[in-house]
Amino acid sequence: MTNTPHISVQNLNLYYGTRQALKNININIPDKKVTSFIGPSGCGKTSLLKTFNRLHDSALDVRVAGKVLVDGENIYDKQVEVTHIRKKMGLLSQRPFPLPLSIYGNVAYGPKLHGVKDKPLLDALVEQRLKEVALWDEVKDRLHTPATGLSIGQQQRLCLARGLAVEPEIILGDEPTSALDPKSTHKVEELFLELKNKYTIVLVTHILRQARRVSDYIVFVYDGQIIEFGPTEELLLNPKEELTKDYIRGFFS
Amino acid sequence: MKKLEEQFFKTLMILATLLIVGSFFGIIFTILKKGLPAMNMDMITQIPQGGYYQGSKGGVLNAIAGSLFLALGASALALAASLPIVMYLNVYLKKSSVLGRITRLSFDVLFGIPSIVYGTFAFTLMIYFGNKASLLAGIITVAALVVPVMVRTMDEAFRSCPKELSDAAYSLGATRWETAKVLVLQAVSGIQTAVLLAFGRAIGDTAAVMFTAGFGDHIPSSLASPAPTLPLAIFFQLSSPSEAVQARAYASALILTFIVLVISIASRLLGKRLQKNKTRS
Ligand SMILES: Nc1ncnc2c1ncn2[C@@H]1O[C@H](COP(=O)(O)OP(=O)(O)OP(=O)(O)O)[C@@H](O)[C@H]1O
Ligand SMILES: [Mg+2]
């Protein structure tokens, strides 16, 4: 690891009731790189991603033990304010969930929450973010129509723009292309490649080819544990662990 | 054999549907047939002449106004009480928490309590505090009566909001309160249904208003004056020995049905407008 880590997970365990879903996770996620989590369904990828912005807080019967340091600060410390942590991260879920607002309202939502009231400034912000996700030209004439009127691919880019508008440092994507057609998928992947200059990107994906195309590092998760972590090509072409080998062979042969 | 079973249950379903739709039209038809002859402009523009609807002159304007004030007031008050409850249940309490379950169960129980019990209970309180029957007392009693319907209907609407939506708001740095507001927007059509159901129950209820809202021949002029209501007017008119007055009961029922119909259609239209407008910022 050359860079200083942006997110550092230390001895993290997560329980749903009495069932342990994450077992002693330790990992350093590098700054301004794309790190992908791969692994079979149900191995705990989503659960892990959610610990990064404390989305488990509102769930009953979920217990998180251990540390997650973001910029060196343990986000599970009692004094840490949760909105402050979440503001640092933009989340993209498996399917897009636009807020029940207009296209404009979706992008402006975060900035408004955090105190931007000036209308011209908001307009400029919305335009900038929509351009950043290459959606501006498609929606500039209908900014004030419901966001649910967009196609799924457009909605996903809108959700990305919405996340970027709070000026996060980190983008968390949970299989963000799983509901998209190949063309929209390609667009979103391109976006990630562009965005990684400015943001640290953490991606969960089922698609090994996607992981290969966009990520700098890959983490292989199996049954709630991290089995292997390394630079993309190295891990895919030269896995050290048997489990990783089996998983990758399943895809490429 | 399978075919026969299929046929049997299909017939059963059709019969049940026909029965319900049939009784609906049966009721409408009866009200129209018996009410229309007694219906005239005076019915909706005049207050009764001859005391407590017993004369065959004048109208039921006092009861129309009273019922509208009462139902609107009670729905508004119930909404103001229910929305915070539902927000608390869905945003502040964790899913399936014990307190949440107990609260939901109590509302289910309250929902099953007949309105006469609400009426008697409120009446006892009123005697204790030395209050007379009034519009305000009626509004409060009926609001309490419809809160369970409202809470349960709105609760369903909130619960059907995807978890990912609140996660989305949270991950943009929204507080619980701000997230709750997003859910209200998402659930707006469910909230509308809830208010509509409550309004329907409020305007049609007789037992809860009998002692609490009182009756009289005049349009209520303040929250403290007694409020005549349509269901009670129907009750009085129907129990009259005079056939002319009995016929007026059906005209009153016709008016009540019409109001409920207009309110439901209007709120549908309003709902469509809301759906468009809520996206305007
Ligand atoms: N809310 C919950 N309550 C109880 N168990 C849960 C909950 N969420 C997830 N689990 C369990 O925890 C394990 C990990 O789930 P998780 O969603 O993190 O897997 P995943 O790797 O994201 O899977 P997928 O690739 O299918 O999305 C699974 O066995 C799942 O059944
Ligand atoms: Mg998942």
From A46, A50, A64, give the residue whose CB has the most ligand 1 atoms within 8 Å, as the site to mutate: A46
> Per-residue pLDDT tens for B135-165?
888 899 999 999 999 999 999 999 989 888 9
> Is B281 or A238 the better-scoring residue by pLDDT?
A238
Report the range of poorest mean pLDDT among A43-52, A154-163, B37-46: B37-46
Residues from chain B contacting residue A159 (CB–CB below 8 Å): 168
Mean of the per-residue pLDDT values of chain B: 86
pLDDT score, position B155? 92
pLDDT score, position B211? 82
Cβ partners under 8 Å of residue B281, min gap 6: A101, A102, A104, A105
Residues from chain A contacting residue B281 (CB–CB below 8 Å): 101-102, 104-105
Which residue on chain A is closest to B171 by alpha carbon?
A86
Dihedral sign computed on CA atoms, order A49, A52, A55, A56 = positive
Q: What is the pTM of this model?
A: 0.81
Q: What is the pLDDT averaged over residues A120-134? A: 91
pLDDT score, position B51? 67
pLDDT score, position A66? 92
Give the distance from residue B261's alpha carbon to the nearest chain A alpha carbon, in angstroms. Answer: 29
- Tell whether the model's pLDDT for residue A171 goes beyond 70: yes
pLDDT score, position B273? 67
Whether B85 maps to a domain, the answer reads: yes
Dihedral sign computed on CA atoms, order B174, B176, B178, B181 = positive
The three state secondary structure string of chain A is: CCCCEEEEEEEEEEEECCEEEEEEEEEEEECCCEEEEECCCCCCHHHHHHHCCCHHHHCCCEEEEEEEEECCEECCCCCCCHHHHHHCEEEECCCCCCCCCEHHHHHHHHHHHCCCCCHHHHHHHHHHHHHHCCCHHHHHHHCCCEHHHCCHHHHHHHHHHHHHCCCCCEEEEECCCCCCCHHHHHHHHHHHHHHCCCCEEEEECCCHHHHHHHCCEEEEEECCEEEEEEEHHHHHHCCCCHHHHHHHHHHHC
**Best-predicted range by mean pLDDT (A42-46, B61-65, B271-275):** A42-46
Whether B215 maps to a domain, the answer reads: yes
How many angstroms separate the alpha carbon of residue A8 from the centre of ligand 2?
21
- Tell whether the model's pLDDT for residue B281 goes beyond 50: no
pLDDT score, position B53? 65
Sorting pLDDT into bands at 50, 70 and 90, what band is B274? low
pLDDT score, position A248? 86
Residue A44 CA, closest ligand 1 atom number: 18
Q: What is the pLDDT averaged over residues B263-271? A: 78
Whether B227 maps to a domain, the answer reads: yes
pLDDT score, position B61? 87
* Domain containing residue B149: 39-277
Q: Does B96 touch chain A (CB under 8 A)?
A: yes
- Tell whether the model's pLDDT for residue A38 goes beyond 60: yes
- Tell whether the model's pLDDT for residue B279 goes beyond 50: no
> Per-residue pLDDT tens for B31-44?
898 888 888 888 78
- Tell whether the model's pLDDT for residue A121 goes beyond 90: yes
Nearest-ligand number for the alpha carbon of A174: 2
Q: What is the pLDDT averaged over residues B62-70? A: 90
Ligand 1 site, residue A107, Cβ cutoff 6 A:
no
pLDDT score, position A12? 94
Ligand 1 site, residue A43, Cβ cutoff 6 A:
yes
How many angstroms separate the alpha carbon of residue A46 from the centre of ligand 2?
4
C-alpha atoms less than 13 angstroms from C-alpha of B23 in its C-beta half-sphere: 5
Sorting pLDDT into bands at 50, 70 and 90, what band is A200? very high
Beta strands in chain B (DSSP E): none
Q: What is the pLDDT averaged over residues A64-85? A: 89
Q: Does B273 touch chain A (CB under 8 A)?
A: no
Which of A80, A93, A106 should we substitute to test contact with B (largest number of B Cβ atoms within 10 Å)?
Answer: A93
What ipTM was assigned to the predicted interfaces of this complex? 0.85
Q: What is the pLDDT averaged over residues A131-155? A: 91
Whether B59 maps to a domain, the answer reads: yes
> Per-residue pLDDT tens for B73-94?
999 999 999 999 999 998 888 7
> Is A150 or B43 the better-scoring residue by pLDDT?
A150
Q: What is the pLDDT averaged over residues B113-134? A: 85
Helix, strand, or coil (residue B96): coil
Specify the CATH number for the domain of residue B239: 1.10.3720.10
> Per-residue pLDDT tens for B224-248?
788 888 888 888 888 888 888 888 8
> Which residue has the CA at smallest separation from atom 31 of ligand 1?
A42
Task: Name the percent of chain A lying above pLDDT 90.
Answer: 54
Both tokens of A102, joined, read 């207009």
Total of domains in chain B? 1
- Tell whether the model's pLDDT for residue B54 goes beyond 60: yes
How many angstroms separate the alpha carbon of residue A1 from the centre of ligand 2?
27
> Per-residue pLDDT tens for B174-216?
988 999 999 999 998 889 888 988 998 899 888 888 888 777 7
- Tell whether the model's pLDDT for residue A252 goes beyond 70: no
Mean of the per-residue pLDDT values of chain A: 89
User: What's the DSSP call for residue B131?
Assistant: P
From A47, A92, A175, give the residue whose CB has the most ligand 1 atoms within 8 Å, as the site to mutate: A47
